[in-house]
Amino acid sequence: MLPPVSAYALFFRDTQAAIKGQNPNASFGEVSKIVASMWDALDVEHKNPKTKVGSAESCQLFPVYSLITSR
């Protein structure tokens, strides 16, 4: 049985495609740094995987993130 996926892993998975789309020449490391800085800027409530991702508030904080959560 696989261990549960962390909230950061879910955030990374949901965010990296939009960042890569806006920065097509960015390396994986550069994309990872952008995602990490976005994650660090989130408060604890938004890092909780049980909080609805893509809420209006999180979309205002990170417009890139709103692109991928509105699909």
Percent of the chain with pLDDT over 70: 68
- Indicate the burial class of 52 (C-beta count within 10 angstroms; 0-12, 13-18, 19 or more): exposed
For residue 53, pLDDT over 80 is answered with no
- What value does the mean pLDDT take over residues 59-71? 49
Considering only CA atoms, which of 39, 34, 31, 30 is closest in space to residue 58?
Answer: 39
Give per-residue pLDDT as tens, 2-38.
Answer: 788 888 988 899 899 889 999 899 999 999 999 999 9
The domain limits of the chain are: 7-69
